[in-house]
Structure 1
Amino acid sequence: MSGSGTLKIPATRNRLTTGQLPRFASLYTLGVAFVLAAAVMGLIGFNAFGLAAFTSVFYLILISALSTAIENRRKAMDRFVRGLVTVAFLLALAPLVSTLWTVFSKGIGIISPAFVFTSGGSPTINPNTLEIVSSPGALQAIVGTLEITGLATLFSVPIGLLTAIYLVEYAAPTFWLRRVVNFLVDVMTGIPSIVAGLFAFSLFSLLVGPKAFSGLSAAVALSVLMIPTVVRSSEEMLRLVPADLREASYALGVTKYVTIMRIVVPTAIAGLATGVTLAIARVIGETAPIFMAASFTDAFNGNPLNGPMQTLPVMAYTGYKFPGQDIALSNDQAWGAALLLVALVIVLNLIARIIAMIFAPKTGR
């Protein structure tokens, strides 16, 4: 009580903000860590990887020390682990970003309507020497990629989906055939891709003779790689369907076949479509099996039943391994084929996301 008769209440500290780092403390700490790392790299020699590594180490040390001094040990450990996880994520993301940037920067220069819509033997002008040279273009590779991958999908999806339905809906857990199928699927998952190509080439050599190169042979090789992926992804999606839906259908007198076709598969259709699309994206970039089974050619061949066919991954490989007279132009064409392949894989993944959003079960009323 003061002399004027007023009561002074001592100021209290806000417990919600006491003992906490400022809102942008992590950002400021990262800036300080970057400056320290740049100073260290200036002394020992600049290197992008070293700069990122020193910045990460300094950040983890500084944020842990600040949090320990101002907050407490538990929050300091939380910030340290959070920063460690973030650094690990960025390290895992760095190769992907570096690969995409390298392919884009080296391949964008040759991408043009003439490159995409022309095929073998099309004349073009070398921008370095101004000479007219024969450029293979990429049309035959684009058509070959789409045809071979489409045939492989046509072979693999029915087999993989029906196998998954058998394993989930029909086979008893202890049935011997179920164990055999699971074992064979696991073995097929680990088969090297070149072995699949040798298998397809050997099979067609026995059927049609020594000249067995064809798009159909390559499609069979890719289907060997696709089937186990489709089986496992479809099996997991079918297992996620609640058993209550099946039991409710059986209680109404619906047969097992109709229950699977009208209840189980439509419920899991989003996951099934996503798994199939990702399986396609996984095999569309295979080089070894296609090179063994379909060989390669610069001429346009739209018939998958006869003769060698070209694909984008094989075109990228042969552009470096078997360059033409103009080595620089062959390398540019290889990077252009790689860029087209990456763009095709990105489009397939976007299609998978769109399909998942469209066919996903609606949770709202």
Structure 2
Amino acid sequence: MTVLDTGDKRPGIGTDAAEGGRGGLADPRAASLTRRTLPRQVPWAIAGGGVLLTIVFKLTLDNWALAVFLAGVIFIVALSAVSWRFEDARRARDRFATSLISTTFVLAVLPLVSLLGYTIQRGVDKLTPYFLSHSMRGVGARDDTGGVYHAIIGTLEQVGLATLIAVPIGLLTAIYLVEYGRGRLAKTVTFFVDVMTGLPSIVAGLFIYAFWILMLGFEASGFAGSLALMILMLPTVVRSAEEMLKLVPNELREASLALGIPKWRTVLKVVLPTAFGGIVTGVMLSIARVIGETAPLLLLVGLTQSINTDPFSGWQSALPLYVFDQNHAGNKFAEERAWAAALTLILIVMILNLAARLIARWKAPKAGR
């Protein structure tokens, strides 16, 4: 019996194609995936060269911002050119996009880092336990004494009252817009929230001054300042909470409702705990937005050098007011106090953010519960 050989003997078909990965003819598409790539050290070496160029440009031009910008442009062009020469066009485009994003991120972070570093440099020497535990009562222009204790109390009380008012109102508004809001009323609320987002702080201060002090006859106090800060906090709280609630999967709501749980209880027990971390982050953003405001407090709080723990009666200082006052005092001791108070304000914001992150992580839903 004769056995017919039906195997295809064309090149690249049959046996040769099967052996393509073992020395035969390979698929060109597979070969394109194994082209040369730059070693990992090359981008870092080019970045190191960019740092050296930054130093050279700084010494030559005496301008940090221009030096960093020029070094960043050279880094992007150099990395893209090297990738184009030793890799291929697709990888070169990817390197260009990656280096552009990385450089712009560095350019965006540098002002923040430089501001923080300069504030620490100018204010750390004055930031002592004595400075944090004494007020400015009885301190003269030539006295290298006094502290910021009265301003810390004022800031914590004013921002705390504003938060106690703004967070419930903002959270309930966000819940209404996401869970219940349909129709003209929801659109109207959204419109006014958008308008309030861009509201200048002095306008909020003037509104509270006209309504609370001129119309109702109340005196300037820490609580009046809290009302202005509350107006500035509201849109941030509403918008951040609204976006976090929208991220909660609808399947969770549907599963809860399918078990016969009422809508309000589903929101309270399912939706809010799931979005808790994001809501806390939004609240901290709103606090950071208003804790450094000066203009409304100049109109509504007054300025005192003594300790006042009652935000509902009498003038009360605050850290932004303290910095403003010491910066205009016109002596070297006041300038040191101003920088130390600014550093204190930054530290308070950092501590509050850290505490909020820890609380959010502690209260976040855990797998298996």
TM-score normalised by the chain length of structure 2: 0.84
What is the CA–CA distance in structure 2 between the aligned matches of 1:46 and 1:167, rounded to whole Å? 52
What is the CA–CA distance in structure 2 between the aligned matches of 1:64 and 1:351, rounded to whole Å? 43
Residue of 220, 225, 228 corresponding to 2:232: 225
Distance 1:108 1:168, change over 3 A: same
Q: Quick check: 1:136–1:299 contact (8 Å CA) kept in 2?
A: no
Query: Aligned-pair distance for 1:214?
Result: 0.2
Query: Aligned-pair distance for 1:346?
Result: 0.8
List runs of 5+ in structure 1 lacking aligned partners: 1-9
What is the CA–CA distance in structure 1 between the aligned matches of 2:53 and 2:163, rounded to whole Å? 53
Residue of 330, 339, 344 corresponding to 2:348: 344
Cα deviation 1:288-323 (Å, max 9, x = unaligned)? 1112110211111111111111111111111113x0
Name the counterpart of 1:5: none
What is the CA–CA distance in structure 1 between the aligned matches of 2:158 and 2:252, rounded to whole Å? 38
**What pairs up with 1:192-211 in 2 under 5 angstroms?**
192-206=200-214, 209=217
Residue of 43, 47, 56 corresponding to 1:30: 47
What is the CA–CA distance in structure 1 between the aligned matches of 2:281 and 2:52, rounded to whole Å? 44
**What pairs up with 1:327-338 in 2 under 5 angstroms?**
327-338=331-342
Between the two proteins, the alignment pairs up a number of residues equal to: 340
Greater shift, 22-31 or 94-103, is seen at: 22-31
What is the CA–CA distance in structure 1 between the aligned matches of 2:298 and 2:335, rounded to whole Å? 18
2:186 equivalent to 1:186:
no
Residue identity in the other structure for 2:339: W
What is the CA–CA distance in structure 2 between the aligned matches of 1:160 and 1:36, rounded to whole Å? 49
Name the counterpart of 1:7: none
Distance 1:72 1:226, change over 3 A: same
Name the counterpart of 1:121: 137
Q: Quick check: 1:68–1:75 contact (8 Å CA) kept in 2?
A: yes
What is the CA–CA distance in structure 2 between the aligned matches of 1:198 and 1:310, rounded to whole Å? 19
**What pairs up with 1:138-287 in 2 under 5 angstroms?**
138-172=148-182, 175-206=183-214, 209=217, 212-287=219-294
Distance 1:21 1:260, change over 3 A: closer
Name the counterpart of 2:10: none
Distance 1:193 1:36, change over 3 A: closer
Distance 1:59 1:300, change over 3 A: same
Cα deviation 1:69-104 (Å, max 9, x = unaligned)? 211122122212211111111110111011101111
Secondary structure in structure 1 of the residue aligned to 2:213: helix
What is the CA–CA distance in structure 2 between the aligned matches of 1:37 and 1:207, rounded to whole Å? 58
Query: Aligned-pair distance for 1:234?
Result: 1.2
Distance 1:101 1:36, change over 3 A: closer
What is the CA–CA distance in structure 2 between the aligned matches of 1:349 and 1:279, rounded to whole Å? 11
Q: Quick check: 1:37–1:58 contact (8 Å CA) kept in 2?
A: no
Query: Aligned-pair distance for 1:277?
Result: 2.1
Q: Quick check: 1:117–1:137 contact (8 Å CA) kept in 2?
A: yes
Distance 1:53 1:256, change over 3 A: closer
Identity across matched positions, percent: 44
Distance 1:243 1:112, change over 3 A: same
After superposition, the CA RMSD in angstroms is 2.5
Q: Quick check: 1:138–1:312 contact (8 Å CA) kept in 2?
A: yes
Q: Quick check: 2:319–2:342 contact (8 Å CA) kept in 1?
A: yes
Query: Aligned-pair distance for 1:233?
Result: 1.2
